[in-house]
Amino acid sequence: MTTLTAPPPVRDRQRRARPVVLILPAAILTAILMVIPIVATIVRVVASGGTGLTELFSLPNVGRVFLNTAGWTAGSVVGAIVIGYAGALVLQSARLRFAGLWRGLLMIPWIIPGVVGATVWRWTLSTDYGILNQALLDLGLIGEPVRWLSNPDVVLWAVALIQIWVTAPFVMLMVSAALTSIPAERFEAARLDGAGGLAILRHIILPAIRTTTGICVLTLAIWALNSFTIIWVATSGGPAGASTILPVLLYQAFQNGDQVLVSSVALVQVIIGGVLAVLFARTMRTDLEEQT
């Protein structure tokens, strides 16, 4: 004998529809701000018959631009993760006094405008009157001023240092919030078992905040791939293209009025960002499946 189930009450339907209604304005805004420009860029590249992509990959310095972009992204992400983790662990220490004050001071690089931070660092790294060179000379660590922003072998890592200085506070904030969710009993049990600081970091802290680390890595990578202000203010992509990355190349094409090349570079950046997002989503899905 079959039994008929009554349809859900009207209130249940309204309750289920409420999240959709609440998220609909944000979805529409996202479509306007992201989807439509991306589609327009793809249409423009397709309409050009691929001449923009051909022009992009036929540039004499295109290989160096991609290498610079990869090195800049990897260096700034790794540096921000390491320094951000270290800062978060120090701020979580019970021995540290005035932790709130230190946390506020360390957040300043992330809060101030990028143009201001890049300008300050350009003065700091100046060959002739920079504070960094003067300090290293006074300490006897160098015999002559280092050309941080004019030496092609050094400039990319110098501007990556600025990016790390700006983004490490974000990692520190995210990791600090994640550390507070780890039960204190785990640390106490590990210490009773004789575990040291490195063992606790490896077996307790890192697995517990793996999702937070993934979010930080993806966010930092996207920021680095789209970063323009720091490099342009500090070096304008020089010397001789040694610090030119994809966003700088895009702006240079825009200055030259080459809209087809602008769209092609933008499309390449979208593809790279999309690949990173897919890899991140798959990694997070695997982590969730392992946890369940």
User: Closest Cα to residue 52, out of 211, 220, 250?
Assistant: 250
Chain segment 71-98, per-residue pLDDT in tens: 999 999 999 999 999 998 888 876 778 7
Number of domains in the chain: 1
Q: Which residues 6+ apart lie within 8 Å of 267 measured at CB?
A: 41, 42, 45, 53
Give pLDDT tens digits for 186-200. 877 878 877 777 888
Residue 10 within any structural domain of the chain: no
Which domain CATH number covers 156? 1.10.3720.10
Per-residue pLDDT 10s for the chain (292 aa) are: 455 554 555 566 666 767 777 788 888 887 787 788 888 888 888 887 778 788 888 888 899 999 999 999 999 999 999 999 999 888 887 677 877 788 788 888 888 888 898 999 999 999 888 899 999 998 888 888 999 999 999 999 999 999 999 999 999 999 988 888 888 788 778 788 777 778 888 878 888 888 888 889 988 998 998 889 999 999 989 888 899 999 999 999 988 888 888 888 988 988 888 888 888 777 767 665 655 5
Distance CA 167, CA 170 (A): 5
8 domain residue, yes or no: no
Question: Would residue 51 count as lying in a domain?
Answer: no
Which of these, 248, 224, 227, lies nearest to 236 by C-alpha position? Answer: 248
Domain ranges, residue 126: 64-291
Residue 53 placed within a domain:
no
